[in-house]
Amino acid sequence: MLKKNKIDLKNLTRSQLTDFVLAQELSSFRARQIFSWLYRPGITNFSQMTDLSKKLRQSLEEQVYFSSLTPAVREQSVDGTIKYGFLLDDGAMIESVLIPEKNRNTLCISTQVGCAMGCRFCLTATMGFIRNLTPAEIVNQVCAVLADVTTHEMGTINNLVYMGMGEPLANFDNLLTSLRIVMDELGLNFSERRTTVSTCGLVPRIKELGEEIRVNLAISLHAADNETRSQLMPVNRTWNLDSLLLACREYPLAKRRRIMIEYILLRDINDSESDARLLAQKLHSIRCKINLIPCNEAPDLPFRKPSQKKIDRFQEILHDAGYTVIVRSSRGSDISAACGQLAVQGREN
């Protein structure tokens, strides 16, 4: 049977794999066995699943398969950041970014090829929307980078962030499936404390996400008034700041957890003292911390980074208002791996 006519088992949660196994008139415990093998390092074929009978392994080989990704591109920044380019079966290319820090590694993964959201400060938006990633294509980014950091003796991945190419909540069903796989103890075993989903503000989906699964939430806010935000982020014309911030207030958070508010500082657009004061006011009563991101400049975009004095003053105003505020240092900009810089051609020729 051709691969394209087979089921990719990495598209299935453990519960879905159990349904598949039962449909084959096998015992349900086989699903647990198979699922646990799929995400073990170095497992590339069914013959390695040694606690399955030879007959069952042969049957699986005939009916199904499990996919993997291997980096087609691996670029390392002078600051240690690593960008991976993954070539998909249909010729599309996606990127993931590993950000090494002292005692931890954070991986930023993609959920779509391109993006339909049209945020003006983001290079991914210049690609347009090409297609959603499957759960397997999302999860296999993590598997591939885990293998790479092991090979290079870099430890492991401590934090997983759905903040690469694409809008995660616009690929909602596949996002949820991938989360259930990476957070399964027999899958990749990431905890809710180590897993973050970022959104530009698809308000109804924020509520659904909180109802379906417990993960950290990051909001790409980038402006404190509707006029500015609508100019920067077309999504605000559908779901404005009031509706977005209400969704944040209602999002179910575990104790001692906070929403991450992402705010790109753009010179003379959203970086004034009055912008900072309005932001502090708008975020009132939301359990959050604020991540300030000085603009990562790119030749294809018209935005510039504010002066260090303005960045420091913006942070000071928010800090004085009682917020935890971090200024994110630009990482990987020399290899176009910094925030807002992920963009590749939709297909390899």
pLDDT band at 225 (very low <50, low <70, confident <90, very high): very high
- State residue 345's pLDDT score: 47
Query: Residue 193 above 50 pLDDT?
Result: yes
Query: Residue 347 above 80 pLDDT?
Result: no
Query: Residue 240 above 50 pLDDT?
Result: yes
Per-residue pLDDT reduced to its tens digit, 110-155: 999 999 999 999 888 889 999 999 999 999 999 999 999 999 999 9
Query: Residue 261 above 80 pLDDT?
Result: yes
pLDDT band at 348 (very low <50, low <70, confident <90, very high): very low
- State residue 125's pLDDT score: 87
- State residue 2's pLDDT score: 57
Catalytic annotation, residues: 95, 339
Q: Mean pLDDT over all residues of the chain?
A: 93
Give the pLDDT mean for 84-97: 96
Give the pLDDT mean for 303-319: 97
- State residue 173's pLDDT score: 98
Write down all domains in the chain, each with its CATH number in brackets.
3-65 (1.10.150.530), 71-335 (3.20.20.70)
- State residue 285's pLDDT score: 95
Q: What percent of the chain has pLDDT over 70?
A: 93
- State residue 255's pLDDT score: 87
pLDDT band at 299 (very low <50, low <70, confident <90, very high): confident
- State residue 257's pLDDT score: 94
- State residue 268's pLDDT score: 97
Query: Residue 341 above 70 pLDDT?
Result: no
pTM (predicted TM-score)? 0.93
pLDDT band at 301 (very low <50, low <70, confident <90, very high): confident
- State residue 346's pLDDT score: 39
Query: Residue 80 above 80 pLDDT?
Result: yes
Query: Residue 3 above 80 pLDDT?
Result: no
- State residue 99's pLDDT score: 94
Contact (CB, 8 A) for 196 and 216: yes
